[in-house]
A = this chain, B = another copy of it.
Amino acid sequence: MRRNAAAHSVPAPAYITRKIPVYELLNEEELARLEDHADWILSEIGIEIRGDAVALELFREAGVSVDGERLRFDCGHARALCASAPRTYTMHSRNPARSIVFGDDNLILGPAYGSPFVTDLEGGRRYGTMNDFENFIKLTYMTPWLHHQSGTVCEPVDVAVNKRHLDMVYAHLRYSDKPFMGSVTAPQRAEDSLAMARIVFGEDFMQKHMVIQGNINVNSPLVYDDTMTGALRTYAAANQGNVISPFILGGAMAPVTQPASIAQAHAEAMVGIALTQLVRRGAPVVYGSFLTTMDLKSGAPTFGTPESSLATLAISQLCRRLGLPFRCGGHLTASKIADGQAMQESVNNMNPAIMSGANFIFQAAGWLEGGLTIGYEKFVMDSDNCGAVERMLGGLTIDDNELAADAYREAGVGTNFLGVAHTLHNFRTANYRAALADTSSFEQWSEDGSADMQQRAFKRWNKMLAEYQPPPIDPAIDEALLDFIARKKASLKDAWY
């Protein structure tokens, strides 16, 4: 193992440990009915894997009915194939203090993934570049409430499509020391991501330990394409992670009613998870869900809606019954800017994810415009709420100090507690303090320029980038990474698809 041996100090927990109960929306009978319906979908309608003969053959060998590219599963079979997936596992980071654990009562937060556009108050909305990509990697690294770097935080459109994954993986490894996702846009790019991880972590280490992940979306309804299954198989074969997320807008990629969407998402997730296990038994995997609604007048996706909240809560229960780590949620919005709509929708989308017992929430910072854009101001505004989530999941401790009998003895009635010994002893750690919430008087706020939250956020992310210091890296490893990239790039003509 060639990891940087000297772990440097980490100011925040590497991940959140949940101390409050999960919320159970549905009862046993309702959950069983949803599971039965998922089984019905997989046995009667089936699911297709398109263009991937290897995957089809794996399912055929496992006893699944394969008719052309259509798979049909006996009742309970998809579930049984998921059984070898680990319930909990560690994802190692190049800084061991940043390693994270999926599953159990743990929650891991990460920033947005996949936007072609970026926006900020000064520059407006434009295509993302490698510079933006690095900026978001740096901001994520600096944010104590984010534990994972996510993957394609924005598309760096100034680099050729067939080469940008090299620069992106390098940025993850060089400008941060938190865990991250590799490329999934082609099996070869997933292989390159693995190769670069091996330079840092060593091949032997990666045979037994997970250090990288692929983010796999289903082409809902009921289709996996070969790009996704190819990337999935690449990561699973290397004993590395996958996050399998059906991507459903109810009414388009699924029926318009939530119970149908929920059962379908469950069916689709199980098939992807099963494939990871057929490729390599015990390969680490996360059961994901991206299920939202649409405006049924315009067909536009909608986020943070009550219907999507209910669906998330129900799917979390189905996942828990499989015993797998659960990914869902995030600070999602259809708004184009970081205004009231953006925060109303984002918090509404995050809350059920938190209550549901989610283990992994990326898309937790920066998401705008249905995912088409990542915003700098939105990023730091969302991050504030990630800190609040950490405090919330810490729950209450009912003990003598917290009950503060002495404070009452000292203060009595009708006075105030500001100056009592108990307050002085506890105030530093008592409350989470959001960086961007303005709590000053109207007069003070007016004097300070009547800035809204976006304007304060603009200052904050600029200050953060100005203060950024990269984590240390072994120069030999850095050189080896740069050498790998240079050779790879030299071997390929630029392609823009």
**Which A residues contact B (CB, under 8 angstroms)?**
20-21, 23-26, 30, 33-34, 37, 40-41, 44-48, 50, 70, 125, 219, 221-223, 250-260, 262-263, 293-302, 305-307, 309-311, 314, 334-348, 351, 355, 369-370, 372-373, 381, 384-385, 388-389, 391-392, 394-399, 401-405, 407-409, 411-418, 420, 422-423, 426-428, 430-434, 436-442, 445-446, 450, 452-454, 457
Residue of B nearest to A395 (CB): B310
CB <8 Å contact, B302 and A385: no
Given A298-B440, A409-B45, A431-B307, decide whether A416 and B334 contact each other with a Cβ distance below 8 A: no
CB <8 Å contact, B25 and A21: yes
Residue of B nearest to A307 (CB): B431
CB <8 Å contact, B20 and A21: no
Q: Can you offer 23 A-B residue contacts whose CB atoms are under 8 A?
A: A30-B396, A33-B398, A47-B413, A222-B413, A250-B430, A251-B427, A252-B418, A256-B430, A257-B401, A257-B402, A259-B396, A260-B403, A260-B407, A336-B442, A337-B452, A340-B343, A341-B452, A343-B343, A343-B344, A344-B346, A344-B381, A347-B348, A369-B442
Chain B nearest Cβ from A4, distance in angstroms: 34
Residue of B nearest to A377 (CB): B340
Complex Cα distance A24/B391, Å? 18
CB <8 Å contact, B344 and A403: no
Complex Cα distance A24/B423, Å? 28
CB <8 Å contact, A307 and B391: yes
Complex Cα distance A258/B296, Å? 43
Set B48, B299, B411, B430: member contacting A413, Cβ < 8 A: B48
CB <8 Å contact, B252 and A417: yes
Given A46-B413, A259-B397, A417-B221, decide whether A296 and B430 contact each other with a Cβ distance below 8 A: yes
CB <8 Å contact, A452 and B339: yes
Chain B nearest Cβ from A287, distance in angstroms: 19
Report B-chain residues with C-beta under 8 Å of the C-beta of A47: 413
Complex Cα distance A338/B341, Å? 10
Set B255, B418, B430, B439: member contacting A301, Cβ < 8 A: B439
